[in-house]
Structure 1
């Protein structure tokens, strides 16, 4: 049987590789399009590169980059960025048909010679864990550091947002506030499922027909942790937290309504935000219908602001109120708020965690927390803090009045009985009548 002649173009390509007809030179700006194509060509499906294209382009402009050229075309590239006395390799790429020909080693050698002329002697490279194409690095005597862990964090604020966020008094809250929120498991589960999950997994939510929430109301007796929940949502999402204080806007030249409008226009410049208005009943109370008033003008403005706010993704408005019955009916209407969520008094687990937070560390093992939890039913977090501090203050006064300042080991003044006595002397914020009204509001108004 006659053998089919070899394709002349393939034969020519093999001859070129055998003769290594490439040259290594410095990167030129005109090479950028070809460099990007080579990077894309060298990628492996399912392996995410460590460095973004923006970081590679920055290294091309401000670091050291070399390209391998054959027949006038870029067939490989290596780029590094310089930080102090170290260079980081951010790109080592070659066209598929030029692999296994020593091109990667040649590109690294080109980089190394240029770094040496700049006095850089330490060169590092980070690769995805699944990357197996490391022959060039090994051939050039790069060693693997076995005992290292790579950590990365993306700061969730764009540089252009820093100014507007600062003017709004917004800030990024510490991570971990959500996990530190002890007890209140029913409320945590509800907020986790209704708010955090759709906002954190937006694309998945949309694919299942779920529209991420844009605005919610938290209601409940005073001191039950509504503000803490709002901050915890911002912490969990890693979004900036912005609290709007209507009382601080009253002196604005355009009045409270104009100031409120401007604040939300400024918020619209941010990519993400958790916006919080506490005691919203101050600016959204039920309108009387007895003529116009400045406060009714503010309520009308807020009713116009919310629909516009809801048109933007990546943000949520959380309003809190102690007196949900006093809110204007139009304010709570469907289409303005996705959920109206009740936040009740802390349960036993939450009270135990709160007590544990405020008891002096040196005495915590000697205190019967269960007795304090039992005695502080209907106490808000603020009530528990007050009672704990009261017990500590009374213990200090007793120690000093008896025989001067003593050490902890010499005096048992701070004990379970002292805390129980402080609880008896503390008037709880949440009365039985308040609890009764709260339960009625859950039946009539809550929307979860």
Structure 2
């Protein structure tokens, strides 16, 4: 479309409009190239470069036709080409606290793979995905990666930008391609980050409705036939997830991932400060001062406290210790990212589930 518009504008002598459309066509071709591999990726990159050259040369010399098929923004495509996933190197030992969460996940997702005979003996239900929900910065993605590590599974992370397309039907193709790629692995986990954006409540947007429908069809299809796929999701807004996604066989179990308690905060501080030069830093005081902080908040707090000693160390070419004063300055800059009203929303949601 952009390419045809550019050619038409050029023929009409409207050079500014032609240049803009050539650049838009080049941008679209770059996006298609990123979703491709091999010769198709190289071809699309070359076309994008030629389109930029054409845009820059408008008014200077005649615009040639692009060799080969027209650089349509909608070339033949069976969906996004998903890169081969890796097994993460994060284990449950790397995650602070959350013992109840770890226990629930172990029983639901890890033990069925490690001890299938035991589950058969007790006729314990298996199957279905798990939804991790809770405030931002509480380690939901780390937990998902740790599950993949524990069962030695390839880990596919899926976000809205990986799937959603402005082209009609392309989101569904990307979803189908994702599942087909993951099914080829001996064992794989598909992790849907920001699940509310991918499985939004239906009835408001036709594109969202089609996307959610395709996701549910794919999940229903693999849950009955494939034993090598596990489904995980994470969201900060569980109330915005379409209710059909939470039915048995899909995201069958929802697990709340709370803010770190005192024991978890101690773990986070000791991990972040391990091997770092300290003087008179009281971990117990830091724990009491950071009630309501998320794991991400504590990580940022420690990083801020290291800044001035690092600068002084460089300036004086000597080792400068981090002190409680550095943490007091950092505490003024780094406040809890999760407010009390948000926590009440989670309490309300949990009560409604019960």
What TM-score do you get using the length of structure 1 for normalisation? 0.57
Work out whether 1:407 is the aligned partner of 2:318. yes
The counterpart of 1:293, out of the listed 206, 220, 225, is: 206
Work out whether 1:444 is the aligned partner of 2:344. no
Counterparts in 2 of 1:362 and 1:258: CA distance versus 1, 3 Å: closer
**Partner SS for 2:330:** helix
Partner of 1:315: 229
Work out whether 1:187 is the aligned partner of 2:101. yes
Instruction: Tell whether the 8 Å contact from 1:351 to 1:381 is kept in structure 2 after alignment.
Output: yes
The counterpart of 1:433, out of the listed 341, 344, 351, is: 341
Work out whether 1:277 is the aligned partner of 2:192. yes
Distance 1:345 1:282 in 2: 22
More strand by share: 1
Work out whether 1:331 is the aligned partner of 2:242. no
Distance 2:274 2:188 in 1: 36
Work out whether 1:306 is the aligned partner of 2:211. no
More helix by share: 2
Q: How does 1:42-121 map to 2 (within 5 A)?
A: none
Distance 2:302 2:239 in 1: 33
Work out whether 1:227 is the aligned partner of 2:227. no
**Partner SS for 2:245:** coil
Instruction: Tell whether the 8 Å contact from 1:214 to 1:315 is kept in structure 2 after alignment.
Output: no
Distance 2:256 2:92 in 1: 18
**Partner SS for 1:362:** coil
Instruction: Tell whether the 8 Å contact from 1:219 to 1:322 is kept in structure 2 after alignment.
Output: yes
Structure 1 position 397, deviation (Å) = 3.8
Structure 1 position 277, deviation (Å) = 0.7
Partner of 1:137: none
Partner of 1:356: 270
Query: 5+ residue gaps in structure 2?
Result: 1-80
Instruction: Tell whether the 8 Å contact from 1:272 to 1:315 is kept in structure 2 after alignment.
Output: yes
Instruction: Tell whether the 8 Å contact from 1:281 to 1:324 is kept in structure 2 after alignment.
Output: yes
Partner of 1:386: 300
Q: Greater RCO between the two (CA within 8 Å, min separation 6)?
A: 2
Instruction: Tell whether the 8 Å contact from 1:372 to 1:420 is kept in structure 2 after alignment.
Output: no
Distance 2:165 2:241 in 1: 24
**Partner SS for 2:190:** strand
Query: 5+ residue gaps in structure 1?
Result: 1-165
Distance 1:427 1:370 in 2: 18
Runs of 4+ in structure 1 deviating by more than 6 angstroms, as ranges, are none
The counterpart of 1:170, out of the listed 85, 93, 99, is: 85
